[in-house]
Chain A
Amino acid sequence: MIALYVVLGILLLLLLFVMVTYNGLVRLRNQTQNAWAQIDVQLKRRHDLIPNLVETVKGYMQHERETLEAVTNARNLAQQAIGKGVGAQSEAEQGLSGALSRLLAVVENYPDLKANQNFLALQEELTSTENKISFSRQYYNDSVLGLNNKVQMFPSNFVANMTGFKLGEFFEVEAPAEREAPKVSFS
């Protein structure tokens, strides 16, 4: 009789452990997905800022038509890449960053533009959007780390394997081009 209770008790504890661990895993996976969505929001914000930027800059830069077109094209490409997977999307975003940095480099030659209030406001928005992209990436990677720890570590790895949880993929900034690209001084 006592043995039965002990076995039942152990089973109950086991069930409780599986339940708590499973819920924790689901929470982490949702957090990771949500963090990924945040990155998308910020990338979209960057896309939305670019027509504004081109519009503001156009009047001052009569001679830079090609640079401006390159930015617009890169932005359209980046927009088309949405939903085509991490690789394609990050490649298109890198192209956009490159075009953007070439544009901002020639701003140096237009002192009038640098005094334009609209442009100054856009500068703050661009700086902040770049920050937000990197902060959302940071949060995403932290979330993936949390999830992966849980999936790989003992004893939660048993539950994760049973219920088919997969390791999350880190969002790495591998290409040095993207690291360097937006680093342009307005002054």
Chain B
Amino acid sequence: MWEQVRSNRIRSVVLVGMMALLLLAVGYLLGWAFLDSPIGGLAIALVILAVLNLIAFFQGDNIMLAISRARKIKPDDHPRLYNIVEEMRIASGLERMPDVYIIDDPAMNAFATGRDAQHASVAVTSGLLQALNRDELQGVIGHEIAHIKNRDVLLMSLCGVLLGAIVLLAWYGSRMMLFGGMAGGRRSSRGGGGSAQGIIIIVAIVLAILAPIMAQLIYFAISRKREYMADASSALYTRYPEGLASALEKLAGSKVQVQAANQATAPAYIINPFREKGRAAADLTSTHPPISERIRILRSMAGGASLADYNQAYRTIHKGGKPVFSAASLAGAGTVGIRAAVPETALGEREPTKVERTREVSDLMWRMNEYETVNCDCGTKLKIPPDFKRSNVRCPHCGRINNVRSRP
């Protein structure tokens, strides 16, 4: 049942291998053309590859979390979010509970990071927490947990690193061409082989220009595939595709962009942080499939919540395009029903309203910034900043004097 991802994983590894070869080819040719030693260029490419990969492998998650200014939360900080992450961990069969992070940002987005299931983290923005109800949040978290379960994070960060290295090499290569008078001079002094040298230089120039574009296309192809797969897995875990569909709808409607995102971290998010409104449907240069399409696929999963049902829906939408999962990998998976809109085991049906959720999240953000909350008898909640020195505070509403707890 959980082996369907394997065939896609192999395909992705092949694509990553192609990118690595592309990188080495660029290094080789640039070395040949400008350093008079193809092996030297190859060596430089290899060293860059190794160093960047090591960094991405061991520090990728920390870098990602630091760049997006995510803060780790404890179960008590936001019980519902923490519970939902744990529910999805159980549904997916992950062994270790991922760390849960929150990003203080009104934009709605989420990502998963960590090189493997043992070092995984899930981060969501406060805007997302405010806007989504339990089912929708469950769909989004299911999507992120699927990224962890399918080992997408490692693959995508390795991919991102390769892309970065190719861009870097090509950039230096083109700089060397611009200031390449000296290299040419050195070569001409050696004498002979003039025309062959010229051809190699032209090939190197063309490759230096094309390689980053090719690498980017490969990167995007892998990334979008993983998004579809994570959507399918989320539907399978929650047994409720509508949750994720409705969450994506809300995400698509939001106009705020994540502040602390950049091109390198974009594929990690659940929706492309740099999307534009009304972007063309099939866009090669997008890390994410169009949201409307993802929603349509999820909503046309009429038969059930299994990966095969997602595949079926995908093919209906894409008019017989290449399926997300190969037929062989889905053999013997069995049928999986979609649960009813209200979970049959749900205890409290009363969902916190949007206002309550907003209050909850803003209280959390105050707490995380080490503000202390003092409840005045008149019902006002006073937020005491951490650098507040006095031991009591006057309520601005009713004038009562309240003691600040931590400073007696």
List of A residues within 8 angstroms of B347 by Cβ: 104, 123, 126-127, 130, 182-184, 186
- Assign chain A's interface to a size class: 35 or more
For the complex, would chain B's binding face be called helix, strand, loop or mixed by DSSP majority?
loop
Contact A186 B334 (CB under 8 A): no
List of B residues within 8 angstroms of A187 by Cβ: 348-350
List of A residues within 8 angstroms of B95 by Cβ: 34
CB distance from A174 to the nearest CB of B (A): 14
Q: Is B1 an interface residue (CB 8 A)?
A: yes
B195-209 interface (Cβ within 8 A of A): none
Closest 10 CB pairs of A and B: A128-B83, A135-B91, A187-B350, A130-B345, A123-B348, A186-B348, A149-B332, A146-B1, A185-B349, A135-B90
CA distance A182 to B92 in the complex (A): 24
A-B contact list, 17 entries, CB within 8 Å: A31-B93, A42-B90, A124-B79, A124-B80, A124-B348, A130-B346, A131-B87, A131-B346, A132-B87, A134-B344, A135-B87, A138-B239, A139-B91, A142-B2, A179-B344, A182-B346, A183-B344
Contact A139 B90 (CB under 8 A): yes
> Digit string of B108-122 for contact with A (CB within 8 Å is 1, else 0)?
000000000000000
Contact A145 B1 (CB under 8 A): yes
List of B residues within 8 angstroms of A34 by Cβ: 93, 95
**How many pairs of residues, A versus B, come closer than 8 Å at their CB atoms?**
93
CB distance from A173 to the nearest CB of B (A): 9
CB distance from A114 to the nearest CB of B (A): 9
B74-94 interface (Cβ within 8 A of A): 79-80, 83-84, 86-88, 90-93
Residue picked from A135, A145, A146, most chain B C-beta under 10 Å: A135
Contacting residue for A127 out of B1, B334, B346, CB 8 A: B346
List of A residues within 8 angstroms of B83 by Cβ: 124-125, 128, 131-132
Q: Is A2 an interface residue (CB 8 A)?
A: no
> Digit string of B28-72 for contact with A (CB within 8 Å is 1, else 0)?
000000000000000000000000000000000000000000000
CA distance A130 to B93 in the complex (A): 17
Q: Is B343 an interface residue (CB 8 A)?
A: yes
CA distance A184 to B349 in the complex (A): 7
CB distance from A145 to the nearest CB of B (A): 5
For residue B351, which residue of chain A has the nearest CB?
A: A187
Q: Is A38 an interface residue (CB 8 A)?
A: yes
CA distance A145 to B350 in the complex (A): 35
CA distance A17 to B310 in the complex (A): 32
CA distance A2 to B142 in the complex (A): 55
List of B residues within 8 angstroms of A135 by Cβ: 87-88, 90-91, 237
Residue picked from A35, A124, A131, most chain B C-beta under 10 Å: A131
For residue A133, which residue of chain B has the nearest CB?
A: B345
Contact B90 A185 (CB under 8 A): no
Q: Is A3 an interface residue (CB 8 A)?
A: no
List of A residues within 8 angstroms of B86 by Cβ: 128, 132
Q: Which residues on B are within 8 Å of A, measured CB to CB?
A: 1-3, 79-80, 83-84, 86-88, 90-93, 95, 237, 239, 332-334, 343-350
CA distance A128 to B91 in the complex (A): 13
A139-187 interface (Cβ within 8 A of B): 139, 142-143, 145-146, 149, 153, 179, 182-187
List of A residues within 8 angstroms of B346 by Cβ: 127, 130-131, 182-183
CA distance A135 to B93 in the complex (A): 9
Q: Is A121 an interface residue (CB 8 A)?
A: yes
For residue B95, which residue of chain A has the nearest CB?
A: A34
CA distance A186 to B348 in the complex (A): 5
CA distance A34 to B94 in the complex (A): 11
CB distance from A55 to the nearest CB of B (A): 18
Q: A127-B348, A132-B86, A182-B347 are in contact. Are A143 and B1 (CB under 8 A)?
A: yes
For residue A35, which residue of chain B has the nearest CB?
A: B93
CA distance A143 to B92 in the complex (A): 11
Q: A139-B93, A186-B349 are in contact. Are A134 and B343 (CB under 8 A)?
A: yes
Residue picked from B3, B79, B346, B349, most chain A C-beta under 10 Å: B346
Q: A128-B87, A132-B87, A142-B1 are in contact. Are A182 and B345 (CB under 8 A)?
A: yes
CA distance A38 to B92 in the complex (A): 12
CA distance A35 to B93 in the complex (A): 8
CB distance from A101 to the nearest CB of B (A): 9
CB distance from A13 to the nearest CB of B (A): 21
Contact A185 B350 (CB under 8 A): yes
Contacting residue for A38 out of B90, B237, B345, CB 8 A: B90
CA distance A127 to B352 in the complex (A): 13
List of B residues within 8 angstroms of A186 by Cβ: 347-350
List of B residues within 8 angstroms of A31 by Cβ: 93
Q: Is A94 an interface residue (CB 8 A)?
A: no
CA distance A38 to B350 in the complex (A): 27
List of A residues within 8 angstroms of B237 by Cβ: 135
For residue A178, which residue of chain B has the nearest CB?
A: B345
Q: Is A90 an interface residue (CB 8 A)?
A: no
For residue A24, which residue of chain B has the nearest CB?
A: B3
